[in-house]
Every structure is written in C-alpha cells, then in structure tokens.
Amino acid sequence: MMNTTQSTASNTTEKTSSQPKITLVVAASLNNVIGVDNGLPWHLPSDLQFFKSQTLGHPIVMGRNTWISIGRALPGRTNVVISSASRETLALPESVLLFSDFTQALAALADTSEIMVIGGAMLYESVLPMADAVSLNRIQTTIEGGHAFFPNLPATEWKLTWEEQVPADEKNNFDQLRQRWERD
C-alpha cells in the first residue's frame, strides 16, 4: 500500500514565490542514517540544543513516525504532523495540526516566513525538491543497521553557506559538523 504523504507530496515539486521558505533540519551520520528502530541512533545533548536553536519560533512539520518518536508537542513551535492516520490514532493534542499531505500543511502555513521540516525519511525525500535550505548536523560516525536515511543532496543544486565543527566531549560522544546548505 502506498503512503498518501509520499505520493501526494512527491507530486508537488515546484514552489511558488508566495510560499514560506522551506528548511529541512536534520542530523545524519556519515552514511546518512537518521534513524534506527524509530529513534535517533545517538544521544547528543549539543545536537538537541542545535535543533532547538534552529526550530524555536518556527512551525515544525514532521511525519507520523517522527511524531511517535518524539512523543509530545515541542514547545515554542507550531507542531504539524503529516499522516493519513486519524488524530485519535496518533493521540495528538488539540494544539498539534494534522494534515494528510505536505501541500495541505504548506497552504495552512502560508502566512509564516519559514517552516522547518524535521523528518522522517519519507517526508525529507518528498519535500527535498521544494526545499530552499538544509540545516544539516553531520554526526561524524558511521551507523550500521540504520532504518531511516537522509537523501543525498545533489551537488549541482546546493551550495554550502556556513559550517561549524563541534568536537566530542564528555556529554557528546561524536564530533559534529554543522552545515547550512542553500539551494543554488
């Protein structure tokens, strides 16, 4: 059975000038793993702080599995879930918006300047053609047994505009390379 989110969102690859800026926010390993068993493959407090700094004050859009993984609405952000499942099935609080596809969410968020897409893999894949920017935290390790992957950024379509090295420390087991990619 085909996922409604994937089929509908992937058919919308053009962005109009009146739409908000679309930024993908992601932490991925060197081999593009973003998830193992519906969770993050690492616990890095500094990565969570970076995520918060990138998303606070902006609407965040996520797929069903990302919602389940997080397990609650994140404060200081409009939380949006893309899923064909019902509000009751997902146990969504009233404050969380639910849409069956990304184009509906985009239309509902048209009055905002920027929306942050926070996963998962199917949503990243379908929204990437419309994205304006990618906030990537490249975790400097290879993860075996990954179940969810971030798509490759086509080099001809993206340019690196910022990066920062963050070394491992007593609370963060891996070095991190934070990057901002803009559509070329």
Task: For the chain, 184 residues long, give each residue's pLDDT as a single digit of tens.
Answer: 333 333 334 344 455 667 999 999 999 999 999 999 999 999 999 999 999 999 999 999 999 999 999 999 999 999 999 999 999 999 999 999 999 999 999 999 999 999 999 999 999 999 999 999 999 999 999 999 999 999 999 999 999 999 999 999 999 999 999 999 999 9
51 in Cβ contact with 25 (< 8 Å): yes
What was the pLDDT predicted at 14?
A: 58
What was the pLDDT predicted at 17?
A: 63
Q: State both tokens at 22.
A: 């679309």
What was the pLDDT predicted at 3?
A: 35
Q: Which of the 8 DSSP states describes residue 146?
A: -
Q: Rounded distance, CA 166 to CA 135, Å? A: 15
Q: Rounded distance, CA 16 to CA 150, Å? A: 25
What was the pLDDT predicted at 9?
A: 40
Q: Count H helices and E strands in the chain, helices first.
A: 6, 10
How far, in Å, are 46, 85, 92 from residue 22 at the CA level? 24, 24, 24
CA-nearest of 175, 143, 180, 160 to 32 is: 143
Residue 178 phi, psi (nearest 5): -90, 130
Q: Rounded distance, CA 37 to CA 46, Å? A: 22
Query: Which pTM was predicted?
Result: 0.90
How far, in Å, are 36, 50, 156 from residue 137 at the CA level? 17, 8, 20
42 in Cβ contact with 71 (< 8 Å): no
What was the pLDDT predicted at 2?
A: 34
